[in-house]
Structure 1
Amino acid sequence: MENAYGKLAAWVYHLDKPIGHSFGDLEYYRERLAGCTGAILEPATGNGRILIPLLESGLDIEGFDASEEMLHYCRQECLQRNLNPRLTRQKFQDFTGPRRYEAIIMPAGSFQLITDTASALALLQRCYDNLLPGGRLILDTDNSKEIIQSKGALRSWKVSDNERLTLSSSDPDINYVQQTTLTYLRYEHWQDGLLTHSELDLFCLRWWGIHELTFALRAAGFTDVIVSGGYQHGRAPGNDDAIISFEARRP
């Protein structure tokens, strides 16, 4: 299954990207949302890496994710901190909320998990429809160079003295026409030197050109599109920026 984030994938994600771990995105979103008094939504909230620190900053933020395993970690971490945000299991293509939002955020390239172009455009429209007038959509994309030039690797995480998780990834299969990559990920759980469980995940991403995504946002009805490089708001992206951020407003 594509981008499934099953039990082992979610476990690895939580070990590798714990709550508050930042690539520069946490500080960026905290700054961009400063002064926001209305509700905020984070689709694909995952284990709460971004959502929980923003909650602790006093923001009214909720999230959803398609993976029950990822939501388990998010709920567990919230419980440990006496936080009780609204967390639901939903998918990009049909999410609904009980209210409209002052901001919708998609950090860390989660928008690129949607590889079908029509579905991605429909999500932008759904975000627009779920924002209050004046509300903002803020999302990140990986530079296409970072996606295309990525290489397969083997990584491991020590869980205990006799327990380890490993992740092996293939070189990406690149479709230049569809602007997508497909990477095979194998997660393995080892205990006392024996393999106890493994999962295969098909990890798919779509890359976007800056002008292409800007046009898509405007086609959905957004205005005041600002494109920034390297988590420096308002600075035009450069060729070497790993992350490109988009901010757009519903009029």
Structure 2
Amino acid sequence: MIKQKILQKTFHGFGAEIYDLWWPEGSVSGDEQFYKELLKKQGGNSLEIGCGTGRILIPFLKENFELDGLDYSNDMLNICRDKLNKYNLNAALYQSPMQDFKIPKKYNNIYVPFHSFMIVSDRNQALRSLICFFEHLKQNGQLIISLFIPNYQALALYTEDQDKWRHCKEINLKDGKKVVISDMVINFHLEQIKQVRYRFEIFDSGRLIDTHIQEMKIRWYFQYEFQLMLESVGFKNITAYGDFTFEPLKNYHREMTFQSFKP
């Protein structure tokens, strides 16, 4: 019997369980090495926002970075805690939304990898997140935030097929079952919001036995819009890099990472 579909928040429940198979270490080309170089140059302790199951946090801890993690999904953090125990690593993990957290210490670095900042879809809450980051940085502390660059061709494609499921990926589980991941995207251009539903269909010997549906909203940004947001909070010396390289942002890049400092 196929279980009833349940709409959940993304990165909770089943979405957390298969995250490491969905986005394994090394799946985002170049981002780990890029963050590593920025953190090494700045030095000191760091806080990873949206640490999830530890895709970046665990390898960095293995290289002796002084690092803590924060995520709003306790399901993801529980998996990360299991990894800390498995590898005998130490890090404080905090369960909180990024727009409203309070940690009793400050950091030399705060970084927000892999579009995690964009999950805060409300503009005022996004600004509140930047204020939280500012408050938790030491003087001359570094903030690093990665965002995708809006792709007009992709936005137009999704606009035409907004009511259709699109195949994303297939994952083979250890027990022999297969998970087929699809997404359905609705773009709200004036609000710069992308609403995404992910469908996880679980097959056993070719027979569909379960389906999970999860939803998230993502706010996209443009370069100078985001720079103004950082400036409004008080950040200085703002630089935008392209595609997890130290090349200044260009039209052909698909990812942008902002580096800024608390004076």
Q: Do both share a fold (TM > 0.5)?
A: yes
CA distance in 2, matches of 1:238, 1:35: 24
CA distance in 2, matches of 1:82, 1:150: 46
Distance change (3 Å), C-alpha of 1:136 and 1:122:
same
Q: State whether structure 2 residue 241 is matched by structure 1 residue 228.
A: yes
1:149-188: CA deviation from partner (whole Å, max 9, x where unpaired): 6753242111136311221111x21111110111221113
Q: State whether structure 2 residue 212 is matched by structure 1 residue 205.
A: no
AA partner of residue 169 (structure 1): D
Partner of 1:157: 171
Partner of 2:144: 138
Structure 2 unaligned blocks of 5 or more? 1-6, 159-165
Structure 1 unaligned blocks of 5 or more? none
Structure 1 residue runs of 4+, over 6 Å off? none
Q: CA deviation at 1:35?
A: 4.4
Alignment of 1:73-88 (within 5 A): 73-88=79-94
1:198-247: CA deviation from partner (whole Å, max 9, x where unpaired): 221112111111000001000000000011111122x2212221110100
CA distance in 2, matches of 1:197, 1:88: 32
Q: State whether structure 2 residue 85 is matched by structure 1 residue 113.
A: no
> What is the aligned residue count?
249
CA distance in 2, matches of 1:59, 1:72: 21
Partner of 1:175: 188
- 1:129 corresponds, among 125, 128, 135, to 135
Distance change (3 Å), C-alpha of 1:32 and 1:149:
farther
Q: Secondary structure at the match of 1:74?
A: helix
AA partner of residue 230 (structure 1): D
AA partner of residue 77 (structure 1): K
Distance change (3 Å), C-alpha of 1:204 and 1:60:
same
Alignment of 1:84-95 (within 5 A): 84-95=90-101
Partner of 2:51: 45
Partner of 2:162: none
TM-score by length of 2: 0.88
Partner of 1:246: 258
CA distance in 2, matches of 1:80, 1:160: 19
CA distance in 2, matches of 1:2, 1:11: 13
1:107-149: CA deviation from partner (whole Å, max 9, x where unpaired): 1111111111010011111100110000011010001117626
Q: CA deviation at 1:84?
A: 2.0
AA partner of residue 225 (structure 2): E
CA distance in 1, matches of 2:8, 2:256: 24
The answer to whether the 8 Å contact 2:242/2:250 transfers is yes
- 2:31 corresponds, among 19, 25, 30, to 25
Identity of aligned residues (%): 27
- 2:180 corresponds, among 149, 166, 179, to 166
Q: CA deviation at 1:5?
A: 1.2
Q: CA deviation at 1:79?
A: 1.7
